[in-house]
Amino acid sequence: MNDTVALQRCKTCKQKLVPKPKTLSIGTEKLLVACGHLIAFDLYVKDPFRDGRREKARARACSACRQARVEAEVAAAKERRAVKKRFPDGACFSAVYDAAEMQWTGTLTIMGVTFEKRVGGIRALLNNLLSEADKAHPDALVKVSR
């Protein structure tokens, strides 16, 4: 063992930790991946899993395309959160609680059309009525930016 490498001890079991030597690549090959780009695939001397690694790399997109997809998903989620829908002027909502059945019954009237639902929670009732009204009249609900 090399004396110049300072050995550390594990905090829980107090054993000496020996640094793992880094496996050196003997070269690379160009590999066409799922997104259509070429990537550099590392080759190692002793690599019993090379075929599996190669197939896994082929099935994935390159790192730049994966990062772009994540950034697009984050931007889309941020945009979805920024835009909320609210009832238009003249909308009428009413809710009645039935204690015996522990259910809320609610009605929502938008543009002369009445929607009715019966569920266990008031928030679920409002969300269900809102989504039903949005499906029936997508332009009736007003989009509001935060």
Q: What is the pLDDT of residues 63-95, one digit of tens each?
A: 999 999 999 999 999 888 877 777 778 888 899
- Give me 34's structure tokens: 């799922």
Q: What is the pLDDT of residues 7-27, one digit of tens each?
A: 566 677 777 666 666 678 899
Q: What is the pLDDT of residues 45-60, one digit of tens each?
A: 888 999 999 999 999 9
Alpha helices in the chain (DSSP H): 50-59, 63-82, 122-136
Helical (H) or strand (E) element with 111: none
Can you give the residue ranges of every domain in the chain?
23-81, 83-145
